[in-house]
Amino acid sequence: MDPNVPTASSLGRALLRLSHARATGTLEVRGGRFRRGGRRARFVLHSGRAVAVDLPGVAPLHEFVDMDLDAHRSMLPELEGRAGPIGQRLVRRGLLPAAGLTHALRRQMRARTIEVFSWPVAEFSFA
From first to last of its 127 residues, what are the pLDDT tens digits of the chain?
445 467 889 999 999 999 999 999 999 999 865 445 578 999 999 999 999 999 988 888 878 887 765 666 666 666 666 655 778 878 887 888 899 999 999 999 999 999 999 998 889 999 9
* 3 vs 119: CA distance, rounded Å: 12
Answer whether 21's CB lies under 8 Å from 43's CB: no
Q: Is the full-model pTM beyond 0.75? A: yes
* 60 vs 32: CA distance, rounded Å: 21
